[in-house]
Structure 1
């Protein structure tokens, strides 16, 4: 699969299901206290007012939560439909369309980057080094990255979600491998959380989140 195929397939999938997806996941953080705790800890590491990009922001619920914690946060998503919805539901926040593999952002301009169930699960395995290099590029020295994903070795294939004629593979990952790739991109892994699945909220696999930091300049 070429880059164009991967990006087009992902964008088409989310553009097609945008309204149903937003309705289904609107209150996702309200029923996941550990996820809220991880995001809150990340916000404290970044510091009040820190400039943060929520990459793969979807309808913007994580963006809004981070904003409520005092971060200067904006969202980026590949799906134009998701960006339009996020703007409608969060009129006070900034959202733009773009690819995480080629961000329209300057080098070292961000205090934090969040890729919450987005980059790691949608980027082909052979492009993960490119992805993490791009995320490291936009982080300032001392800046933090947070990523979350489902744990496993086999992808989840979703076919005709909500009755729509689209399908997509969602990559599950092993935390140790993601940590290795982050370190290879020059980021220091500072925290790992692995929790068991919660069937009450529709989870079927363990969930992981990692926080990494870009080293401060020497001297």
Structure 2
């Protein structure tokens, strides 16, 4: 599944997605706590990559973070700019962040890497590592499962990763894993989150 196909698949359903999943209040309380706690420890520029409807970007902004959101899907960005006019958003790909080396202090990739094909994920993680200053932190959320296995996500093909394999990929990209969280909520796919810092 190429970038343009992913962009088109989300574009068609952006309004529906935003209506169902575009509010922080609809997110798991533990996710709100984790993302808020992570952001409070960072002093510097954050980017919410694959920000979708922009709700997490605004969540960070409201807590005083210097943050901007980027997404591949113009429909998401147009909606986010209307819903959260104080927050900077732009249409962009996280495969090329277009920022100087070591210029960021945090990257939030909350379920935004799930459609990246397994053979391309390492390149994306290296791009995050390049853009983050030493000690800068990445927080990634993803579906916990057999590494690299695909499944029919509601929008388009997505992939599972185990915390162990994601940790290995992060290590290869220049990160040190700080902590790992896993959770199995009834009726939902298993969740995992990893915080990692640039070595």
TM-score (ref. length: structure 1): 0.86
Q: 2:137 aligns with which of 136, 144, 165?
A: 144
Contact 1:45 1:144 in 2 (8 A): no
Q: How does 1:32-51 map to 2 (within 5 A)?
A: 32-47=28-43, 50-51=44-45
Structure whose alpha-carbon radius of gyration is higher: 1
Residue 194 of structure 2 corresponds to residue 206 of structure 1:
no
Contact 1:29 1:35 in 2 (8 A): no
Structure 2 unpaired stretches of 5+? none
Q: How far apart are the structure 1 equivalents of 2:141 and 2:172?
A: 18
Q: 1:170 aligns with which of 158, 167, 174?
A: 158
Q: 1:155 aligns with which of 150, 153, 156?
A: 150
Structure 1 moving runs of 4+ over 6 Å: none
Q: How far apart are the structure 1 equivalents of 2:38 and 2:168?
A: 20
Q: How does 1:58-97 map to 2 (within 5 A)?
A: 58-97=52-91
CA RMSD of aligned residues (A): 1.4
Question: How far has the Cα of 1:30 moved from its partner?
Answer: 4.2
Residue matched to 1:115: 109
Q: How far apart are the structure 2 equivalents of 1:212 and 1:188?
A: 5
Question: How far has the Cα of 1:80 moved from its partner?
Answer: 1.1
Q: How far apart are the structure 1 equivalents of 2:98 and 2:92?
A: 7
Q: How far apart are the structure 2 equivalents of 1:56 and 1:196?
A: 24
TM-score (ref. length: structure 2): 0.94
In 2 relative to 1, CA 198–88 (structure 1 residues): closer, same or farther, beyond 3 Å?
farther
- The number of residues matched between the two structures is 197
Q: How far apart are the structure 1 equivalents of 2:72 and 2:27?
A: 26
